[in-house]
Structure 1
Amino acid sequence: MIFLINQYLNIKMFALISCRIIFSLLTSFFINLFVGPYIISYFKKFQTFQIIRTEGPTGHFKKNNTPTMGGVFIVISIFFSTFFYCDLNNTYIWYVLFILIGYGVIGLLDDYKKIKFQNSVGLKILYKFLGLSIIAILLLYIMYAHQENSIAIEIIIPFYKAISFKINYLYIFLSYLVIVGSSNGVNLTDGLDGLAIMPVIFLSFGFGLIAFFSSDINICNNINISYSEKSNELSVLCASIVGSGLGFLWFNTYPAKIFMGDVGSLSLGGALGIISILLHQELLLLLMGGIFVIETMSVILQVIYFKMRKKRIFKMAPIHHHYEIKGLSEPLITIRFWIISFILLLIGVISLRIHDVI
């Protein structure tokens, strides 16, 4: 909004994308910092407390009186910050907001059902998966329906190079898997205080950095970034995610005063998925978001192995619960996962290397 208004006002500060990035980050941060206490009090008043799984670690039962659905003010702060500081004529911004809000609504319904019926089931897995799939497929249809077969797509291979190929059904299917998979990856990781939000912040920072340089063709020719005139506006949106995440972490760090719930984890994961597609960095998502991959794979392996051998690989999945049961404290597990996530971010940045290095 400010970007569009500034076309008439011509204020140099708002014309600079670097300034809008900073403003976007700070705005979403302070929105969360301001509204957080009110939302926490409101949720406590109406007893929207986290429903703890009966088969989960016993130490989690003390969290029964902690409010959930904190993802509501994450989504709100990201939306308003993006609305104020991004170029609303840029379709990439609306693609991300479409997933953010759509997946947020599904997560909200899931959280509401858990609270209403006082169990940890929420929406049936089939219905949740169907809802996530419909939204992802609808968005991909909007994105690619009017594209011609001659339009090429680039996929960036970390530490190697970009490979171009034409849009086809396989790529659309892989894009669908990226969106749905990343949303579920963040959802599975969101099991300890502050565990999921910091990797989201790191990943958003990494994608924001890539988006910032993506409209400079000289830089893109020297490193593994796909050139696009539209992509750099995503850096402002990524900054709003970083600011919102930091604002939420203010209340979510151990011991958490509020949890993000599915409304936060599904929306943030889906948003990161579509951002990676727009930047053609789907493989980098797997690298820098390695914590989410590890958590997801631990669940998949546990289920497959149990069905085949009637035995468990881990004491409990996702893997952060395995370490809890082994006796590691919650803050220790969380901080070590943060460290791993930060290292993966650095490796991801290094992978954007000069083409001739290897």
Structure 2
Amino acid sequence: MLYMLVSHTIHDGHVTLLNLLRYISFRAGCACLTALGVSLMLGRPFIAMLRRIQRGGQPIRALGPERHLVEKAGTPTMGGVLVLIALSISMLLWGNLENGFVWAVWLTTLGFGAIGFADDYRKLARRNTDGLSKKARLGSEFALSLLCGIWLQYLMPPELAGQLAFPFAKDLLLPLGPLYPLFAMIVITGFGNAVNFTDGLDGLAIGPVVTAALVFAILSYLVGNHVFADYLQVHAVPGTGELTVFCAALVGAGLGFLWFNAPPAAVFMGDTGSLSLGGALGSLAVAIKHELVLCIVGGLFVAETLSVIIQVGWYKRTGRRVFLMAPIHHHFEKKGWTEPTIVIRFWIISIILGLCGLATLKLR
């Protein structure tokens, strides 16, 4: 909003402080601080409202670790709404609302948040852990992701539309053509659910999400700038530099939520938060042609998802378990690790993976 105001009212040659709003880096910093401030300011009254409305808080899964039934009982959920509010207010103020990439990623994030909200609401209304049916939930996610993939493919420059880029090699492109939206659908839906699997301990999911958002803020800025993209030998995607502002707002909103989600959590993000944040990361990766790099940066989410797939698949085949409990963070709980130990060590792993993702910029 502010960017549009400046761009339409200030003509070239007029040097004012408002000209700072033309710079992505300046608006990204403001977006981060705004989202952080909104989260911190609204956090306590928002959580108090959730407690009044939800009463018993989030239903705790009976098949999970036994201590969760006692320690986490009564904690309200749907904290992801706070993240989405802070993100949206920040984007309305500092984002370029004339940029198609911003709208595609933003609306996909809100759409996944709406699916998660419906799932959370159903659990609260029924006072059990059965949310939306798998068909309804996955069907909605696939449909939304497919639309996002088609939209982003339309926004791509012709030479990159329908192409899958590979890290470590600038000239290696896999032409997927009309199948590309289906690939984008798998990436976006996959990461939406991967973050959902990871969200099982206080602060566990939001920390790696903030790390990944920070990495993608850097990647978006570089990919959206022809000079930097040519120097680093990455595929330039004009217009995606504006996603830096989105990523920065996501970092601020995530940090603000972490203030209240740190152990012991005053609120859970719920599926509202985990699905929307995963959808945001997936759509960001598709927009800047770094889908495979997301698998590195978000490697922790990939590992959590694989642990569930391996556990379920092996158990159905042999009747035995590979892990003491899946997702894998519960395996370490069963081994005696304390919750803060697991969370902090997983954060460290996510930071290392984030640095590895950035390293792909030079290893070409």
**TM bin (shorter chain):** over 0.9
Q: Which residue of 2 aligns with 1:156?
A: 165
Residue 170 of structure 2 contacts residue 234 of structure 2 at CA under 8 Å; is this kept in 1?
Answer: no
Q: What is the TM-score when the length of structure 2 is the normalising length?
A: 0.93
Q: Which residue of 1 aligns with 2:33?
A: 26
C-alpha distance in 2, partners of 1:150/1:19? 31
Q: Which residue of 2 aligns with 1:206?
A: 215
- The alpha carbon displacement at 1:146 in A equals 9.0
Q: Deviations over 1:165-221 (max 9, x none)?
A: 545133222111000000000000000000000110111111110111223323212
- The alpha carbon displacement at 1:149 in A equals 8.0
Q: Which residue of 1 aligns with 2:293?
A: 284
Q: Which residue of 2 aligns with 1:60?
A: 68
Q: Which residue of 2 aligns with 1:307?
A: 316
1:39 is matched with which residue: 43, 46, 50? 46
C-alpha distance in 2, partners of 1:172/1:332? 40
Give 3-state SS (helix, strand or coil) of 1:88's partner.
coil
Q: Deviations over 1:225-249 (max 9, x none)?
A: 3212201000000000000000000
C-alpha distance in 2, partners of 1:233/1:143? 14
Residue ranges of structure 2 left out of the alignment (5+ in a row) = 11-17
C-alpha distance in 2, partners of 1:163/1:4? 37
Query: What amino acid does structure 2 have at the position aligned with 1:52?
Result: I
Residue 154 of structure 1 contacts residue 162 of structure 1 at CA under 8 Å; is this kept in 2?
Answer: no
- The alpha carbon displacement at 1:151 in A equals 6.0
2:21 is matched with which residue: 9, 14, 17? 14
Change (3 A) 1:170 1:77: same
C-alpha distance in 1, partners of 2:65/2:281? 29
- The alpha carbon displacement at 1:136 in A equals 1.3
Residue 154 of structure 1 contacts residue 163 of structure 1 at CA under 8 Å; is this kept in 2?
Answer: no
Q: State how 1:174-193 maps to structure 2 within 5 Å.
A: 174-193=183-202
C-alpha distance in 2, partners of 1:262/1:245? 15
Change (3 A) 1:151 1:243: closer
1:264 and 2:273 are equivalent in the alignment: yes
1:338 and 2:342 are equivalent in the alignment: no
Q: Which residue of 2 aligns with 1:172?
A: 181
Q: Which residue of 1 aligns with 2:360?
A: 351
C-alpha distance in 1, partners of 2:19/2:139? 46
Residue 164 of structure 2 contacts residue 175 of structure 2 at CA under 8 Å; is this kept in 1?
Answer: no
Q: Which residue of 1 aligns with 2:59?
A: 51
- Bigger drift between 155-164 and 316-325 goes to 155-164
Give 3-state SS (helix, strand or coil) of 1:163's partner.
strand
2:243 is matched with which residue: 215, 234, 243? 234
Residue 210 of structure 1 contacts residue 225 of structure 1 at CA under 8 Å; is this kept in 2?
Answer: no
Change (3 A) 1:147 1:19: closer
Q: What is the TM-score when the length of structure 1 is the normalising length?
A: 0.95
Change (3 A) 1:109 1:169: same
- Bigger drift between 245-254 and 142-151 goes to 142-151
Residue ranges of structure 1 left out of the alignment (5+ in a row) = none
1:114 and 2:123 are equivalent in the alignment: yes
Q: Deviations over 1:7-33 (max 9, x none)?
A: 244321211111101100000001000
**What is the percent sequence identity of the aligned residues?**
39
